[in-house]
Amino acid sequence: TPPPPMAPGAGFLLSDTPHEARQSARDLAAAATNLADLKEAVEKFEGCALKKSASNTVFGVGNPEARLVLVGEAPGAEEDRQGEPFVGPSGKLLDAMLRSIGFAREEVYITNILPWRPPGNRQPTIAEIAVCEPFVRRHLELIGPKVVVCLGGSSAKTLMEEDRGITRLRGTWKEMTLGASSVADVTAMFHPAYLLRTPEQKRLAWRDLRAVAQKLS
């Protein structure tokens, strides 16, 4: 017997049809005319299996007209509990990093490539990123920032469309087209969680932050 019809806008099961799931995400993202619409679309989307094991959908937080957007990889345990990106120790470090270049958390916008936590904080898979990518790209189009900072390797490879790892991508810049008429400068930095584990790399992070501040000046 054929499977029951899916609810309108529910997307597809990633495990069965990743191509259709990505197309469904692309259609839903394109139809969103503001961040509230996009958040609703993400929360209704059933095309990513991570949603079933996550406690919350972690959409994004901050100024919807921000000049600076930071994009991490995926929610961790604390983010999954609270439903907000970059809370806990990595969030506190990120806040301190932002303050060092004159920005409060409320002035910027913060989100992730994936809105759902991978079990055990494992690395996101290529398929999971591919399915959710249309949502984060629409996120950026709707905000229209001047600068996008990718935090961590998965975010950098996805948004900068590069195969190189974060060690080589950090500190480099590319232009990113956002919709029909907007362009942002995009760069990569080490993820705050990595900096907590590897504090000797904070020197490079400080250099990268100063470059971000210069782009925004």
34 assigned to some structural domain:
yes
Instruction: Classify residue 12: in a domain, yes or no.
Output: no
pLDDT at site 19: 84
Which pLDDT score is estimated for 26?
Answer: 94
Distances in whole angstroms, Cα of residue 162 to Cα of each of 62, 92, 103, 150: 27, 29, 28, 12
In a domain, 1, yes or no: no
Q: Residue 23 is part of a domain; what is its CATH number?
A: 3.40.470.10
Has residue 116 been placed in a domain? Answer: yes
pLDDT value at residue 181? 76
Q: How many domains does the chain have?
A: 1
pTM to 2 decimal places? 0.90
| Residue 6 belongs to a domain | no
Position 14 scores a pLDDT of 42
Q: Which domain holds residue 78?
A: 19-216
Would you write out the chain's pLDDT as a tens digit for each of its 217 residues?
444 434 434 443 444 467 889 999 999 999 999 999 999 999 999 999 999 999 999 999 999 999 999 999 999 999 999 999 999 899 999 999 999 999 999 999 999 999 999 998 898 899 999 999 999 999 999 999 999 999 999 999 999 999 999 999 999 999 999 987 789 999 999 999 999 999 999 999 999 999 999 999 9
**In angstroms, rounded to a whole number, what is the distance separating the alpha carbons of residues 51 and 118?**
9
CA nearest to 14, candidates 159, 126, 136, 121: 126
Q: Which residues contact 59 (CB under 8 A, 6 or more apart)?
A: 38, 39, 42, 43, 83, 111, 115
